[in-house]
């Protein structure tokens, strides 16, 4: 069973869309996505610097549009392949919603645009950020970070927890990490998935009421607790709430394993989730689609899974 994983914020790098736009059909698709979001995705995906695409209002639509572009390409390259399920990390859940047919692509992008603006507004209210804590016992890490007034934001599995809160508190944590751990500041603009995002969650709940949903055509897991969600309306409710709640990617990977995962394909801009899979899903082959050249390996992984069924 192949699981498609849609990456979250922080996975973007300057110029990452450039290899895709040599293809006229891909460029046309991104142009359409730009019209839907009101964001110049081509410019930001090819010319903008790291600081510009760090802006939440730009990063989130850019990442989701890139994931949808890669999913289009994957399905075109392997039209008969069977995808066993799909999941997204944080904002990647919107791409997963479109991939599973819960939301149309345009509505998924409209949702993300609203999400990004609301989260950027909430982040601007207080200087906050996020850092990854690598290594250490999970319970001990949580106990340590609460001493600094920080909150767990992403339980990523494989010995990585992303914590969030005030910038000065994150700085103190970096100076005084739990023994046996390493603290790495992340290039994001706010304390996402914490109580700081409650105003964004409230605003997004109102926005989400206008979207039409259908039940998923693919197995889809939620960041809330790693469980499978069978209802489109419930999935939408969960991704609204997830704005101010921790991402449990560790539980998602545990669910993939329980479901019999045989391979993971991470959509563009890939890399982060395949890295987590190497530690959290040991022995499971994983392919990150960073450029069109990576489609061959992804198709081969799908073909291998099909031959085993």
Active-site residue list: 90, 193
Site of tokens 């340590």:
144
Site of tokens 């250490």:
136
Q: Which H or E run contains 168?
A: helix 167-175
Residue 123 contacts residue 56 (beta carbons within 8 Å): yes
Residue 82 contacts residue 305 (beta carbons within 8 Å): yes
Judged by DSSP in three states, 155 sits in strand
User: How does DSSP assign 124-147, residue by residue?
Assistant: HHS-EEEEEEESS-HHHHHHHHHT
**How far is residue 296's CA from residue 13's CA, in Å, rounded to a whole number?**
22
Q: Which two tokens stand for residue 12?
A: 């973007």
Burial class from Cβ neighbours inside 10 Å (0-12, 13-18, 19+) for residue 292 reads middle
If one counts every other C-beta atom within 10 angstroms of the C-beta of residue 59, the result is 25
Site of tokens 């991470």:
266
In this structure, the dihedral spanned by the alpha carbons of residues 291, 16, 90 and 166, taken in order and rounded to 10 degrees, is: 150
**How far is residue 294's CA from residue 84's CA, in Å, rounded to a whole number?**
20
Question: Strand 247-248 and strand 151-157: pairing?
Answer: parallel
From start to end of 20-159, where are the E strands? 85-88, 128-134, 151-157
Q: Verify cis geometry, omega within 30 degrees of 0, for the bond prior to 67.
A: no
Our measurement of the distance from residue 183's CA atom to the centroid of its chain's CA atoms, rounded to an integer in Å, reads: 21
């Amino acid at each position: 069973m192949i699981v498609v994983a849609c990456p979250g914020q922080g996975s973007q790098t300057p110029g990452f869309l450039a290899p895709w736009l040599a293809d006229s059909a891909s460029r046309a698709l991104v142009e359409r996505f730009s019209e839907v979001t009101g964001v110049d995705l081509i410019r930001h995906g090819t010319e903008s610097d790291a600081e510009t695409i760090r802006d939440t209002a730009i990063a989130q639509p850019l990442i989701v549009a890139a994931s949808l572009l890669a999913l289009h390409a994957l399905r075109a390259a392997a039209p008969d392949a069977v995808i066993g399920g799909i999941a997204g990390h944080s904002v990647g859940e919107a791409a997963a919603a479109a991939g599973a047919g819960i939301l149309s692509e345009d509505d998924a992008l409209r949702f993300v645009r609203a999400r990004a603006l609301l989260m950027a507004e909430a982040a601007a209210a207080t200087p906050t950020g996020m850092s990854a804590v690598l290594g250490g016992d999970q319970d001990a890490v949580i106990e340590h970070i609460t001493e600094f007034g920080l909150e767990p934001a992403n339980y990523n599995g494989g010995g990585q927890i992303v914590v969030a809160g005030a910038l000065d508190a994150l700085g103190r944590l970096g100076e005084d990490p739990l023994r046996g751990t390493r603290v790495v500041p992340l290039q994001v603009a706010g304390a996402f998935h914490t109580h700081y995002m409650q105003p964004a969650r409230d605003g997004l709940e109102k926005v989400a009421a206008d979207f039409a949903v259908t039940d998923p055509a693919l197995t889809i897991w939620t960041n809330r607790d790693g469980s499978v969600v069978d209802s489109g309306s419930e999935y939408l409710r969960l991704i609204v709430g997830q704005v101010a709640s921790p991402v449990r990617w560790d539980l998602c990977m545990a669910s993939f394993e329980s479901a019999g995962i045989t391979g993971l394909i991470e959509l563009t801009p890939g890399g982060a989730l395949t890295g987590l899979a190497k530690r959290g899903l040991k022995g499971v082959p994983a392919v990150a689609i960073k450029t069109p050249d990576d489609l061959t390996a992804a198709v081969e992984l799908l073909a291998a899974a099909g031959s085993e069924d």
